[in-house]
């Protein structure tokens, strides 16, 4: 397999591992034009990947959903207000009668007798001398309090008996109305009952809710750090796709140069054939080498188009609307291993996420313990109904305080505490393992950068030597001291050296990107 094939196979594997959307892009390819509308630098690609990549957009949406746990934990500390309306059909309707007609009739009869006696005394002029009148007058003078209020009208009639002469007695209808109103029906349960309840509860003391809320906030912050992990992985994938596109551009340029060299060899062979210096076989060999060079150019152009489609999908840009601009030669000055490891241990979002998860689990353990404590709250209730009952009112109110203390719940709180304690211990072990793994990864990545840097220098020197060799062999071939096979071999070697240089630049760029991600630094800058 040619190095170019290995270049794009590695790029394709790296990108598709982190972006499932690439398979759809490969099934629906979009043709990339040779000339792009604008130049795209690695900084532009990283920025577009951060803002436009669909995987990151989905991760941000999931993070917003994770905030619901914080809201649920906060709900335990906030007041609640419930409103309920209800229509009930009762069968049978319940009424309680309160018949006061006998007492009313007796009062009317007594009042009438007194009135008649007063009138008779007034007509005979014996108002001040009758024993009955005298007794009633003494009663009116001595009445007080509620009794005084009850006999005001009667006393007035006794002191002014002349008024009785002008007052008409009640009619039959008036008497019937008085007796009917003295027989009320109190409805205890109406047939159609309407009820409305407004219930408010205000928590005053909920010991378990405070650490639970703190744990939910820590868990959310851990999810934010996990989003940073996803972002670093996606942006590394974007950078891989960018350098794959840049490497494919260099590869196409190398293949184009190889065709020019092969075409020069064909033209030279034809001239020598016409001069009778060589036979037809050498012309055929030169033409075969040219055909193979053109085929490899087509393959490299297809790889370039694939790399551009891959990058366009990841940054959500139309394929063919841009052309990558290779960055300058990356700086290979490296910090000491110990400093890089320390930076990684302080900056890696994976470590921060696990640390926050561990603290969140510990808060939940504390909350599980505090669930054994009582809860204190205030409550209020407003009830509106048409079933007035004995109170005779459509509204009623209730306010108070309550304490809830669950003494035994079947060990549910213990089970929750054990679960969160296990999560905390798991986070501790993962933290220890990850710290050691990060140390190894950073050291290996640093050494890999050094190796790839040396590989780039070797590839540059190899291409230079291949070019010098080709020029020398061509002069020898024209002088007759070298064969055509030597010339064609030199051409192939130069082509392989050009491809190797593109591969070396690609490998060095990726190794630097990998190291920067492992130490938690920005991928570019």
Mean pLDDT by runs of 10 across the 525 residues of the chain is 41 40 39 58 92 91 89 92 92 74 66 62 52 59 57 57 53 67 73 91 93 94 93 93 92 91 90 85 90 93 93 90 84 81 92 94 93 93 85 86 91 92 93 92 93 93 93 87 88 91 90 92 82
Instruction: Give the CA diameter of the chain.
Output: 178
Exposed, middle or buried: residue 307 (CB in 10 Å: 0-12, 13-18, 19+)? buried
The pLDDT value given to residue 481: 85
The pLDDT value given to residue 36: 41
- Residue 264's region, left for phi above 0, alpha for psi from -120 to 50, else beta, is alpha
- Residue 388 and residue 405 in contact, taking contact as beta carbons nearer than 8 Å: no
The pLDDT value given to residue 226: 92
Exposed, middle or buried: residue 336 (CB in 10 Å: 0-12, 13-18, 19+)? exposed
Closest to 226 (Cα-Cα) out of 115, 343, 62, 341: 62
The whole model's pTM is what?
A: 0.69
Total Cβ atoms within 10 A of residue 51? 11
The pLDDT value given to residue 138: 64
- Residue 420 and residue 361 in contact, taking contact as beta carbons nearer than 8 Å: yes
Distance of alpha carbon 77 from alpha carbon 438, whole angstroms: 41
- Quote the crossing angle between the two packed helices 412-479 and 484-518, to the nearest 10°: 160
């Amino acid at each position: 397999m040619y190095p170019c094939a290995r270049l794009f196979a590695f790029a394709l594997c790296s990108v598709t591992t982190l972006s499932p959307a690439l398979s759809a892009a490969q099934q629906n390819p979009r043709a990339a034009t040779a000339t792009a509308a604008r130049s795209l630098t690695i900084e532009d690609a990283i920025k577009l990947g951060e803002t436009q990549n669909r995987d990151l957009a989905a991760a941000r949406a999931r993070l917003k959903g994770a905030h619901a746990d914080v809201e649920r934990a906060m709900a335990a500390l906030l007041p609640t207000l419930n409103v309920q309306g209800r229509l009930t059909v009762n069968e049978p309707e319940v009424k309680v009668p309160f018949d006061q007609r006998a007492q009313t009739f007796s009062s009317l009869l007594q009042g009438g007798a007194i009135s008649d006696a007063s009138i008779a005394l007034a007509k005979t002029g014996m108002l001040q001398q009758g024993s009955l009148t005298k007794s009633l007058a003494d009663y009116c003078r001595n009445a007080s309090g509620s009794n005084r209020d009850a006999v005001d009208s009667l006393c007035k009639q006794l002191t002014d008996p002349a008024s009785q002469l002008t007052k008409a007695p009640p009619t039959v209808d008036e008497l019937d109305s008085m007796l009917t109103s003295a027989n009320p029906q109190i409805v205890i349960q109406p047939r159609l009952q309407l009820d409305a309840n407004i219930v408010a509860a205000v928590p005053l003391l909920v010991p378990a809710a405070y650490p639970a809320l703190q744990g939910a906030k820590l868990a959310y912050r851990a999810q934010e750090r996990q989003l940073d992990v996803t972002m670093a992985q996606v942006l590394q994938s974007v950078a891989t796709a960018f350098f794959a596109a840049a490497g494919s551009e260099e590869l196409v340029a190398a293949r184009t140069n190889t065709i020019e060299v092969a075409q020069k060899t064909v033209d030279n062979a034809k001239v020598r054939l016409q001069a009778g210096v060589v036979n037809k076989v050498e012309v055929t060999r030169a033409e075969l080498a040219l055909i193979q060079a053109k085929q490899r150019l087509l393959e490299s152009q297809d790889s370039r188009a694939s790399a551009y489609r891959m990058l366009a999908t990841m940054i959500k840009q139309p394929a063919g609307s841009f052309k990558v601009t290779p960055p300058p030669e990356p700086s290979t000055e490296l910090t000491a291993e110990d400093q890089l490891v320390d930076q990684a241990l302080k900056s890696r979002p994976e470590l921060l996420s696990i640390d926050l998860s561990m603290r969140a689990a510990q808060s939940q353990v504390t909350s599980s313990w505090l669930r054994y404590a009582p809860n204190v709250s205030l409550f209020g209730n407003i009830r509106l109904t048409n079933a007035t009952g004995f109170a005779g009112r459509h509204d009623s109110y209730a306010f108070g305080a309550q304490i809830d203390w669950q003494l035994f719940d079947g060990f549910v709180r213990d089970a929750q505490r054990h679960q969160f304690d296990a999560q905390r211990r798991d986070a501790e072990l993962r933290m220890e393992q990850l710290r050691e793994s990060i140390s190894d990864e950073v050291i290996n990545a640093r050494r890999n950068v050094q190796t790839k840097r040396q590989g780039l220098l070797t590839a540059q020197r190899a291409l230079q030597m291949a070019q010098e060799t080709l020029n020398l062999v061509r002069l020898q071939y024209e002088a007759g001291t070298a064969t055509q096979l030597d010339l064609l071999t030199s051409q192939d070697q130069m082509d392989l050296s050009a491809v190797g240089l593109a591969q070396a630049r690609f490998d060095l760029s990726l190794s630097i990107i990998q190291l920067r991600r492992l130490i938690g630094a920005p991928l570019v800058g």
